[in-house]
Amino acid sequence: MSAMRTETSPGAMEQGDIVARIDGGSKAFGQTRDLVGRLFERAGLMEPPGSVRAVDGVSLEIRKGEVLGLVGESGCGKSTLGRMIAGITPLSQGSLYWHGRDVARLAGREKLALKLKMQMIFQNPFASLDPRMTIESIVAEAPRAHGLIARSGAGEADYVGRYLDYAGLPSYLRNRYPHELSGGQRQRVGIARALAVQPDLLVCDESVAALDVSIQAQIINLFMDLRHELGLTYLFISHDLGLVEHISDRVAIMYLGRVVEEARVDDIFTRPRHPYTQALLSEIPRLEPVKRRFTALKGELPSPLSPPKGCAFNPRCPKATDRCRADIPRLLQGDEGHSVACHYA
Amino acid sequence: MTMLSTPGAGDAPLLDIRGLTVSFAADGGGEGIAVNDVSLELQRGRILGLVGESGSGKSVTGLSIMGLIEKPGRIAQGQILFNGIDLARLSDAQMKSYRGKRIAMIFQDPMMTLNPVLRIGTQMVEAVLAHDKVPLAEARARATEALGQVGIPHPEERLDSYPHEFSGGMRQRVSIAIALLHRPDLIIADEPTTALDVTIQAQILSEVQQLTERFGTALIWVTHDLSIVCGLADEIAVMYGGRIVEYGPVADVIRHPRHRYTNGLLHSVPSSNRRGARLFQIPGTAPSIFDMPEGCAFRPRCTAADEACRQVPHMVDEGCRQHSCFHPVAAEDMR
């Protein structure tokens, strides 16, 4: 329901209903110094290295069975946040919970088992598939390593066949190599591979951005079918508002490392409250055959190396005041779980 | 160049492509037809949206106009009449006087245009001097002006920057500025905003729109994205399997598509579907140019296909628009 949440979840919400939750999660990327550099730094001869806060104090929860859309421009930190939630990128600050369990306190088999439930599907299917492995071995690799199929290989063909089938791939492709497939088929292999470890959450990072429109529709339909067939939960990361509107139940909008607005999909699209969300929505190209004046939002996403003081959006915001240039607005919850981080929303 | 009035019907088109066919030789012998019997017309100051998915031949069509088809590709047939001169028959040296001067191209990746080890100013001055023998100072002044026109702040200073010092959106602006240097009659833009964010895309579209209006430049906007073309173009040509399958004014094509492929494409866009419902989907994938189905290239993916579709469909003229489908989408609500 909320993004900014207190320690205890309100109402009857069971911990088990929340597949993943991130609480005040931050990720800073900094230069790493070699030994000499560290010594110099210790001696006060060098400044400590600068760091970039790619994700800055984000709290989000993803409930079982829902599709949470995560929208933002390149550089806003949406992919980093996705990787944090999937357990690929460790948090610099804050906590991550999977099925109510604090990931920082998990270890060993238990951590592995939960981590397996959070799978990621990437944008470029060709870069994420080993070119020297057949489709069957790509899909079978993880289940075999995790003991979902016997190491002897018994039952492997059936197992792989089942997940190829889920992903809509004909089984005669199982002995092919990635370069022999089309872009859409490769993305289906990425999906089959993720499904083969029986995940609860799929983090889809621009998973259809590189595909043609007609293929995009096929993959989106596949995602929606799988959601119902396998009871999957999605974090759907995309810059494409049209897609996000179509597939999501809730949407979070990110700007320069922070969530600036979060609400149910119809709330966001009918009553956007943050000026950035409003600008984004007004600039979606529409299928209306009317010559438009493209009225541009001025400027670009500022560099996270030197974020503006106050609200990160203030240099581009038509409504910015002195207050916006001084204070960072907090993400505050309004009616029906519609949260927004703007002094004047 | 002054702003031109709306072209009358009697005006000779700026660009008149007739039966253009481009083929590529395959490694193991044989040939693939990337562009097949394409005919297009473009008047001054007009914007044509050339729409298609990957492998449809839209980019190759653009490259042919620029004279940039290289081996193993070749223009096998047809004419590319630009102000009445057939570009397809020009020698490389002759083509050079058009390329960058009268016809310019903007690519999806601005680094196709920009040299990473040279300052922006050096590259722009070079581009000016390639066609106009003017003093260095004047060339620099023109470069500054062009950068200013595409909305780059402090253009004078930015001339001394290297391409990597610009963001993706700014780099694309620089390549647009270079395209504008000689006030060309025609600009071919090949997916120039595909890699950019929505807000930056809107900025670039807005600037391109203003510039073409101001200078009366004709524009071919090559894209896979129908919704961009909707707000930008006057006419739209939809390509599939190397051929134009539908061609006409944007409003007609978008409101009442006639070809089954255009229809499918329009319906598979999320905004034409009910939120959360399954999207309309075209089954299958686009054919490879080395393995084209006989007859209508869309036949294997088309739900309306029958025996008739084994013949190559001809363009059907319907007044101001054309399509090539044996079973066009019903015309009852068409005017």
The pLDDT tens digits of the residues spanning B23-37 come to 999 888 888 999 999
**Residue B275 belongs to a domain:** yes
Q: What is the model's pLDDT at position B6?
A: 43
CA dihedral A51, A55, A57, A60 (to 10 degrees): -170
Average pLDDT, chain A: 88
Task: Say whether pLDDT at B232 is over 60.
Answer: yes
CB contact, 8 Å: B254 with chain A?
yes
With a cut of 50, say whether residue A227 has pLDDT above it: yes
Residue B194 sits at the chain A interface (C-beta within 8 Å): no
DSSP A230-288: H--EEEEEES-HHHHHHH-SEEEEEETTEEEEEEEHHHHHHS--SHHHHHHHHTS--S-
Inter-helix orientation angle B136-149/B168-180, to 10° = 130
- Please, which residues 51-70 of chain B have a Cβ atom closer than 8 Å to chain A? 53-54
Cβ within 8 Å, pair B198-A213: no
Does residue B24 form part of some domain?
yes
Instruction: Give the distance from residue B32's alpha carbon to the nearest chain A alpha carbon, in angstroms.
Output: 18
- Whether the CB of A1 is below 8 Å from some CB of chain B: the reply is no
What is the dihedral sign for C-alpha B303, B308, B309, B315?
A: negative
Distance from CA of A304 to the nearest CA of B (A): 13
Q: What gap in Å lies between CA A281 and CA A331, rounded to an integer? A: 20
Bigger pLDDT: B264 vs B112 = B264
Question: Mind listing the pLDDT tens digit for each residue in B143-158?
Answer: 999 998 888 889 999 9
B165-205 confidence digits (pLDDT tens): 988 888 999 999 999 999 999 999 999 988 788 888 888 88
C-alpha to C-alpha distances, B230 to A89, B53, B222, nearest whole angstrom: 40, 16, 13
What pLDDT does residue A14 have?
Answer: 47
Length of chain B equals 335
Res. A91 pLDDT band, cuts 50 70 90: very high
Flag whether B73 is in a domain.
Answer: yes
Determine the Cα–Cα distance for residues A135 and B106; give it in Å rounded to an integer.
38
Peptide bond preceding A49 in cis form (omega within 30 of 0): no
d(Cα A60, Cα A110) in Å, to the nearest integer? 23
DSSP B16: E
Whole-number pLDDT of residue A63: 95
Neighbours of B153 (CB within 10 A): 10
Rounded Cα–Cα distance for residues A72 and A288 (Å)? 24
pLDDT averaged over every residue in chain B: 90
Strand ranges in B83-131 using DSSP code E only, listed in sequence order = 85-86, 103-106
Among B53, B207, B230, beta carbon nearest to A214: B53
Domain membership flag for residue B292 = yes
**pLDDT class for A295, splitting at 50, 70, 90?**
low
- Within-domain flag for B45: yes
At A134-192, the pLDDT tens digits run: 999 999 999 998 888 887 777 888 999 999 999 999 989 999 999 998 888 999 999 99
Check if B230 contacts A (Cβ < 8 Å): yes
Q: What ipTM was estimated for this complex?
A: 0.82
pLDDT tens digits, one per residue of A176-192: 999 998 888 999 999 99
Give domain status of residue B140, yes or no: no
At residue B10, the pLDDT reads 53
Let me know the angle formed at the C-alpha of A148 by A142 and A154, rounded to the nearest 5 degrees: 100
CATH number (domain holding residue B188): 3.40.50.300
Q: Which helix (H) or strand (E) holds B126?
A: helix B120-129
Instruction: Determine the residue among B59, B172, B193, B200 to mutate to test chain A binding: the one whose Cβ has the most chain A Cβ atoms within 10 Å.
Output: B200
* Chain-chain contact of A213 with B53 (C-beta, under 8 angstroms): yes
Q: Is the pLDDT of residue A11 over 80?
A: no
Considering only alpha carbons, which residue of chain B is nearest residue A66? B276
Percentage of chain A with pLDDT > 70? 94
Strand partners, B318: B321
Amino acid at B256: H
Give a yes or no: residue B126 inside a domain: no
Q: What is the rounded distance in angstroms from the CA atom of residue B100 to the CA atom of residue B103?
A: 6
pLDDT one-digit tens code per residue, A18-48: 999 999 999 998 777 788 878 888 887 777 7
Q: Is residue B143 part of a domain?
A: no
Chain A CB contacts of B253 below 8 Å: 289
Q: How many domains are contained in chain B? A: 1
Q: Give the range of the structural domain holding residue B189, as residue numbers without chain letter.
A: 15-102+182-323
Calculate the dihedral angle through the C-alpha atoms of B165, B167, B170, B171, rounding to the nearest 10 degrees: 70
Which residues of chain A from 183 to 222 reach within 8 Å of chain B, CB to CB?
A: 183-185, 212-218, 220-221
Residue A127 has which token pair? 């870069």
Instruction: Tell me what the mean pLDDT of segment B307-328 comes to.
Output: 94
Share of chain A above pLDDT 90, in %: 61
Predicted confidence band at A52 (pLDDT cuts at 50, 70, 90)? Answer: confident
What pLDDT sits at residue B331? Answer: 65
Mean pLDDT of A49-53: 79
B115 touches chain A (CB under 8 A): no
Q: For the segment B33-84, what is each residue's pLDDT rounded down to a tens digit? A: 999 999 999 999 999 999 999 889 999 999 999 999 988 999 999 999 999 9
CA angle B326, B330, B333 (to 5 degrees): 145
Contact with chain A for residue B201, Cβ under 8 A: yes
**Would you say residue A3 has pLDDT above 60?**
no
Task: Say yes or no to pLDDT of B332 above 60.
Answer: no
Query: In terms of C-beta density within 10 A (0-12 exposed, 13-18 middle, 19 or more buried), how is residue B320 classed?
Result: exposed
In chain A, residues 76-115 whose CB comes closer than 8 Å to chain B: none
Q: Indicate the residue of A184, A265, A287 with minimum beta-carbon distance to B266.
A: A287
What is residue A125's predicted lDDT score, i.e. its pLDDT? 75
Phi, psi of A69 (to 5 degrees): -90, 135
Per-residue pLDDT at B205? 87
Residue B97 has pLDDT above 90, yes or no: yes
Token output for B204: 């670039």
Flag whether pLDDT at A16 surpasses 60.
Answer: no
